[in-house]
Chains A and B, each alone.
Chain A
Amino acid sequence: MRTPLAMIRITALVAALFVAVGLAAPAFAQDEVTIAKQGWSFAGPFGTYDKNQLQRGFQVFKEVCSNCHSARLLAFRNLAEEGGPEFTEAQVKALAATYTIADPDAAGGKRPGIPADRWPGPDQSKADLEASFGVVPPDMSVLAKARSREDKFPFWILNYFTAYAEGGPDYIHALLEGYTEAPADAKNPDGTPFKLPDGKYYNTVFPGHVISMPPPLSDGQVQYAPGPDGKTVPLTVDQYARDVSAYLMWMAEPHLDSSHSAGFEVIAFLLLFAGLMYFVKQRVWRNVEH
C-alpha cells in the first residue's frame, strides 16, 4: 500500500498536470515576440501595490491616457480607498471638482464632479476619436486583465505555482516601449513586402505590428513631483510605462492587496487545519489495518 502522503503528492501532480496542460496558453504565432516579465511590487502572493508608483501612474493616466481612453468603472472615490493610490479625501474631492459631469438633474445639465462620480472619460466623443485614429480607443477599466503574455512549454506550468497574474502589466509595459521604425526587410504574413499604412504606427509587441495609437510617451513628458518620502524617479518612457502599467493593474484589480492578505490567512489556516486533520485521521485509524 502506498503511504497517504505519496498518494496526495501523486494526486496533486496529476491534477496540476491536467489543469496546466488544458490551459496551455494557446501558443499563437506572434512572430516570436518575447515579452519579458517585469519585477512588480504586486507580483506573487505577498505582493502589494506601491502607493507612490500608483500615484505617479495615475498622473500619467490623467495627463496622457485619459485624453483618449475612457475608464468607466473607475470612481473618483476609489482613488482614496485603501490599497490604491490612497490620495487624501480632500485631494480626491478637489480633483473631482475639476471635472464636469453630465447630470440631467443639475441646472444646465452639468455640474462639477464629486468623489462618488465615475470617471467622465475623454472630452472628445467616440465618433470623433474614431475619425482621428481609425478605432475607438479601448476603455481602460479592466484593460490590464484583457491583455497578457505567454510562456513556452514547459515554463507556463510554473506560472500555476508562482500564481503569475501580471501578464497584463507586462504586456502594456512592453507595448509602450515597443514603438520602433518598421524593419526594412519586414514581410506581411503572405510574404509580400510590408508597408506601414498611413496614420498607423509600427510596434514590435502589438499583434500584427500595426497599431493605431501614436507613441503616447516621450522622455520628460510628465513632470513628477517628488514622492512623500522625498524620492525622485527618472522621467523616462520606461519609468512612465512601468508606473502606468502598475496603475492600470490597480484599476483592473483594485482589491488585490486585501485579497493577497486574506489569501495568506486562509492558506495558513488551511495548512494548520490539514495538519490537525491528518493527526485526527491517523488517530481514528490507528487500530485498523488498511
Chain B
Amino acid sequence: MDHHTEKFVPKNPVVRWVEDRLPIINFVKPSFVDYPTPKNLNYWWTFGGILTFMLASQIVTGIILAMHYTPNAGLAFDSVELIKRDVVGGRTIQAIHATGASMFFVALYIHIFRGLFYGSYKAPREILWILGVIIYILTVGTAFFGYVLPWGQMSFWAAVVITNIFGAVPIIGDPILELLRGGFGVDNPTLNRFFALHYLLPFIIAAVVALHIWALHVPGNNNPVGVDVKDTKRDTVPFHPFYTMKDLYGLVVFLIPFAWFAFFAPDIFGHPDNYIQADALKTPADIVPEWYLRPFYAILRAIDFNFIIDSKLLGVIVFAAALLILFVVPWLDTSKVRSGSFRPWFKWFYWLFVINFVMLTWYGSVKPDLTLGEMFGFGPSGPPVKDISKLSVVYYFAYFILVLPLLGRFEKPRPLPNSISESVLKTPVMQAAE
C-alpha cells in the first residue's frame, strides 16, 4: 500500500549508532506501527494476531516438551506421563501444548471462514490467500505428527490409517508408504521421523507466516465492506495503537476459554484410548482422528463406492481435492463484490456451507452405520451417516464449483458504500444500506 512513514531517528546515541548500521526500527515501524489499517475492521479480524500468538505458544511449549520427551516406541508413552508428573510445571506446559493444538485450529477455522465470507481471497490478495492455504495444510500435517508422539492407541492407529491413505496412490503408493513409515509397518522408525518432522514443520510454518504477512502488507487489509482504501487519512488508522490494543483485547478474551480447558479439562479434546499405550496387535473399537481433521476424514470415508476406479483411490483423490480446491477459490468466485454483507444470495449459500462443514465434522466422528436418528439420540431411524455424508460432500464441492462461479453472474449485489469512511458514518443513508 502506498503510504509514507517518517524516518525515525533515535535520540539515544547507542540506539542511533545501531540503527545507522542495522535499521531495524525503520524496518519495523512502517509495517507494524504506522501501517495504515482500515478503521472498520471487526473482531473477526483479530484472529490473525491470535494465530501468530498461538504459533509462538506452541513453539515455546513444544521446545520445552522436546527437552523431556523420548522419541522411542518403548519409552514415549511413559515419557509424556513423566513430563506431566515429575517435570516442574510439566503438567501445565503439556496441557497448554495439547489443548493449544485444538485452540489453534479453532482460531484457524474462524480465520479461514472469515476470509471466505468477506472475500478476502479476491484480487489483489490471491497470493495472500494461497499462502494461507499452505499454512493450513502444513498445520494439519504438524498437528497430525504431534498427535502420534504420545504413542497411545489413537496415536498409533491414526498413524496407521493416515499413512495408509498414501498407499492408495498407484505405482508409487507402496514406496511412499514405506518411506513415511520407515518400514513395512508403523513402528519406532515412524515415531522417530514424525518427531523430527513435528519439530521441523512449525519453523517452516513461521517462515510462510512471514510471507503471509508480507503479502498482506502489500495491498493492505481487506475489511468488512470490502471497499478499497481510497483516502489513507479518512479510511485508515495507524496499526499502533489502534489495532495493537484491539488485537490484544481480542487475544486476552480468547485466552480465557484456552486457560479453562488447559487447567480444568486438558483431555476434553482427546480420546480416552490415547491413555492406553500403543499396541500393534490390538485395533481399537473405533479409530477417529482429532476433531479438526474430521471434516476431511468424513469426506474420505464417504467415498465407499467404486466409480471407474477403486473406491480407495477415489476416496484419496476426493480427499486431496477437498483441500486443493481451496487454492483456486480466488478464480472460482466470479463476483466483483468482496464482502458477503452486500451479497443477498451468497449469504445463504455461505452459511449453509458453514453448517455443512460442521456436519461433516460430526460425520467424521461417528460410525458410518449410525443413523441420523441415533446421532440425535432418538434411536435407530433415518438414513445412515455413510449416505447422508455423501450429500454433504456434494455440497462442499458444489459450493466452490457451482455456487461461487454462478452467483457472481446472476446475483444482484446491494449498492456498495463509496468508501470505508462513508460506511462507518452513522448517517441515515448508510443505515438504510445496512
Q: Does A7 contact B (CB under 8 A)?
A: yes
- Closest chain A CB from B211 CB (angstroms): 27
> With A and B bound together, what is the CA distance between A218 and B125 in angstroms?
70
Known: A148-B272, A152-B377, A263-B259. A280 touches B249 (CB 8 A): yes
Known: A19-B291, A146-B272. A285 touches B286 (CB 8 A): no
- Kindly supply a per-residue 1/0 record for chain A positions 252-290, scoring 1 wherever the CB is within 8 Å of any chain B CB and 0 otherwise: 101100111011101100110110011011001100111
Complex: chain A residue closest to B106, CB-CB: A15
- Is B263 within 8 A of A1, CB to CB? no
Known: A11-B110, A19-B291, A26-B286. A141 touches B374 (CB 8 A): no
> With A and B bound together, what is the CA distance between A205 and B294 in angstroms?
28
Give chain A interface residues in 119-172, CB to chain B under 8 Å: 138, 141-143, 145-148, 152-153, 159-160, 163-165, 167-168
Most buried by B among A7, A45, A270, A290: A290
Chain A residues whose CB sits within 8 angstroms of the CB of B92 once the complex forms: 259, 262
Q: Does B14 contact A (CB under 8 A)?
A: no
Q: Does A97 contact B (CB under 8 A)?
A: no
- Kindly supply a per-residue 1/0 record for chain B positions 210-238, scoring 1 wherever the CB is within 8 Å of any chain A CB and 0 otherwise: 00000000000000000000000000010
Known: A138-B276, A163-B264, A255-B91. A18 touches B109 (CB 8 A): yes
- Is B365 within 8 A of A22, CB to CB? yes
Chain B residues whose CB sits within 8 angstroms of the CB of A29 once the complex forms: 370, 374
- Closest chain B CB from A256 CB (angstroms): 9
From B39, B245, B268, B275, contact of A23 by CB (8 A): B268
> With A and B bound together, what is the CA distance between A165 and B78 in angstroms?
21
Give chain B interface residues in 72-119, CB to chain A under 8 Å: 78, 81-82, 84-85, 91-92, 95, 102, 106, 109-110
Chain A residues whose CB sits within 8 angstroms of the CB of B91 once the complex forms: 255, 258-259
- Is B265 within 8 A of A2, CB to CB? no
- Is B264 within 8 A of A18, CB to CB? no
Complex: chain B residue closest to A17, CB-CB: B358
Chain A residues whose CB sits within 8 angstroms of the CB of B109 once the complex forms: 18
From B78, B249, B263, B276, contact of A267 by CB (8 A): B263
From B253, B265, B292, B374, contact of A22 by CB (8 A): B292
Say which size band chain B's interface belongs to. 35 or more
Q: Does A107 contact B (CB under 8 A)?
A: no
- Closest chain A CB from B89 CB (angstroms): 9
- Is B362 within 8 A of A21, CB to CB? yes
Give chain B interface residues in 248-284, CB to chain A under 8 Å: 248-250, 252-253, 255-257, 259-269, 272-273, 275-276
Q: Does B288 contact A (CB under 8 A)?
A: yes
Chain A residues whose CB sits within 8 angstroms of the CB of B43 once the complex forms: 4, 7-8, 11
Complex: chain A residue closest to B248, CB-CB: A277
> With A and B bound together, what is the CA distance between A160 and B288 in angstroms?
19
Known: A152-B377, A153-B376. A142 touches B81 (CB 8 A): yes
- Is B263 within 8 A of A266, CB to CB? yes
From A21, A45, A73, A259, contact of B361 by CB (8 A): A21
Known: A11-B44, A263-B263. A145 touches B275 (CB 8 A): yes
- Is B252 within 8 A of A270, CB to CB? yes
Complex: chain B residue closest to A11, CB-CB: B43
- Is B110 within 8 A of A23, CB to CB? no
- Is A18 within 8 A of B106, CB to CB? yes
Most buried by B among A72, A153, A274: A274
- Is B242 within 8 A of A284, CB to CB? yes
- Closest chain A CB from B285 CB (angstroms): 7
Chain A residues whose CB sits within 8 angstroms of the CB of B292 once the complex forms: 22
> With A and B bound together, what is the CA distance between A246 and B82 in angstroms?
21
From B39, B367, B375, contact of A153 by CB (8 A): B375
- Is B106 within 8 A of A19, CB to CB? yes
Q: Does A12 contact B (CB under 8 A)?
A: yes
- Is B255 within 8 A of A270, CB to CB? yes
- Closest chain A CB from B246 CB (angstroms): 5
- Is B377 within 8 A of A288, CB to CB? no
Complex: chain B residue closest to A149, CB-CB: B272
- Kindly supply a per-residue 1/0 record for chain A positions 221-260, scoring 1 wherever the CB is within 8 Å of any chain B CB and 0 otherwise: 0000000000000000000000000000000101100111
> With A and B bound together, what is the CA distance between A67 and B230 in angstroms?
78
Q: Does A184 contact B (CB under 8 A)?
A: no
> With A and B bound together, what is the CA distance between A100 and B267 in angstroms?
35
Chain A residues whose CB sits within 8 angstroms of the CB of B433 once the complex forms: none
Known: A254-B85, A281-B245. A19 touches B366 (CB 8 A): no
- Is A23 within 8 A of B260, CB to CB? no
> With A and B bound together, what is the CA distance between A281 and B78 in angstroms?
46
- Is A289 within 8 A of B426, CB to CB? yes
- Closest chain B CB from A78 CB (angstroms): 8
- Is A289 within 8 A of B361, CB to CB? no
- Is A164 within 8 A of B268, CB to CB? yes
Chain B residues whose CB sits within 8 angstroms of the CB of A152 once the complex forms: 377
From B85, B252, B267, B365, contact of A26 by CB (8 A): B365
> With A and B bound together, what is the CA distance between A162 and B415 in angstroms?
46
- Closest chain B CB from A217 CB (angstroms): 23
Chain B residues whose CB sits within 8 angstroms of the CB of A289 once the complex forms: 39, 424-426
- Is B366 within 8 A of A142, CB to CB? no
Query: Besides A259-B91, A285-B242, 20 other CB < 8 A contacts?
Result: A18-B109, A26-B365, A26-B366, A27-B374, A28-B367, A72-B78, A143-B275, A160-B261, A164-B265, A165-B266, A260-B263, A263-B264, A270-B256, A270-B259, A278-B249, A280-B249, A284-B241, A284-B242, A288-B237, A290-B39
- 18 residue pairs of the A-B complex, CB under 8 angstroms, read A4-B43, A8-B253, A11-B110, A18-B106, A23-B268, A27-B366, A27-B377, A142-B81, A146-B273, A153-B376, A165-B266, A252-B275, A259-B263, A267-B259, A270-B259, A285-B246, A289-B424, A289-B426
The residues of B with any CB-CB pair to A shorter than 8 Å are: 39-40, 42-44, 78, 81-82, 84-85, 91-92, 95, 102, 106, 109-110, 237, 241-242, 245-246, 248-250, 252-253, 255-257, 259-269, 272-273, 275-276, 285-286, 288, 291-292, 294, 358-359, 361-362, 364-367, 370, 374-377, 424-426, 434
The residues of A with any CB-CB pair to B shorter than 8 Å are: 1-2, 4, 7-8, 11-12, 14-19, 21-29, 44-45, 72-73, 78, 138, 141-143, 145-148, 152-153, 159-160, 163-165, 167-168, 207, 252, 254-255, 258-260, 262-264, 266-267, 270-271, 273-274, 277-278, 280-281, 284-285, 288-290
Would you list the 9 A-B pairs with minimal beta carbon distance, nearest first? Answer: A263-B263, A22-B291, A146-B275, A163-B264, A152-B377, A277-B249, A163-B265, A22-B361, A145-B275
